[in-house]
Copies of this chain bind each other. A is one copy, B any other.
Amino acid sequence: MDITTVGGIVLAFAAILVGQALEGGHVGSILQLTAAMIVFGGTIGAVMVAFPKKDFMCGMRLVKMCFGDKKADLSGLAKQLVEYASVARRDGVLALEGRLGEVKDPFLRRALQFVVDGVDANVTRDTLEGAIDAEYEEHEVGAKVWESAGGFAPTVGILGAVLGLIHVMENLNDPSKLGGGIATAFVATVYGVGSANLFFLPFATKIKRKLKLEKERKTLIAEGVLSIQEGINPRVLEEKLRAYTGEEPGEPAKKAA
Contacting residues, chain B, for A77 (C-beta < 8 A): none
Contact between B123 and A236, CB atoms less than 8 A apart: yes
Majority SS at the chain A contact face: helix
Known contacts A52-B2, A113-B254, A138-B246; A19/B45 CB under 8 A:
no
On chain A, which size bracket covers the interface?
35 or more
Contact of A209 among B51, B183, B193, B209 (CB under 8 A): B51
Give the distance to chain B from A199, nearest Cβ to Cβ, in Å: 7
Copies of this polypeptide in the complex = 5
Residues of B within 8 A of A242 (CB): 127, 130
Give complex CA distance A46, B193 in Å. Answer: 12
Residue-wise interface mask of A (1-32) relative to B, using a CB-CB cutoff of 8 A (1 in contact, 0 not)? 01111011111111110111011110001100
Is the CB–CB distance between A45 and B186 below 8 Å? Answer: no
Contact A49 B162 (CB under 8 A): no
Contacts of A51 in B (CB 8 A): 4, 205-206, 209
A121 within 8 A of partner (CB): no
Is residue A103 within 8 Å, beta carbon to beta carbon, of the partner chain? no
* Chain B minimum-CB-distance residue to A124: B253
A110 contacts chain B at the CB level, 8 A cutoff: yes
**Are A41 and B257 touching (Cβ within 8 A)?**
no
Given known A-B contacts A173-B179, A205-B148, A19 and B41 have beta carbons under 8 A apart:
yes
Q: B141, B162, B193, B243: which contacts A186 (Cβ < 8 A)?
A: B162
The answer to whether B176 touches A173, judged by C-beta atoms less than 8 angstroms apart, is yes
Contact with B along A231-257 (1 / 0, CB 8 A): 000001001101110101110011011
User: A158-171, CB under 8 A of B: which get 1 and which 0?
Assistant: 11101111111111
* A12–B250 touching, CB < 8 Å: no
Q: What residues of chain B lie closer than 8 Å to A45, measured between beta carbons?
A: 7-13, 15, 198
Q: Hey, which chain B residues are within 8 Å of A126, CB to CB?
A: 240, 243
Q: Given A159-B193, A239-B123 in contact, is the A167-B42 Cβ separation under 8 Å?
A: no
On chain B, the residues within 8 Å of A20 by CB distance are: 34, 38, 163, 167
A19 to B13, CA, bound (A): 25
CB of A66 within 8 A of chain B? Answer: yes
Contact at B206–A25, with CB atoms within 8 Å? Answer: no
* 9 further interface pairs, Cβ-Cβ under 8 Å (given A25-B164, A119-B256, A172-B178): A11-B41, A16-B41, A113-B250, A116-B257, A117-B254, A138-B246, A165-B186, A168-B179, A169-B178
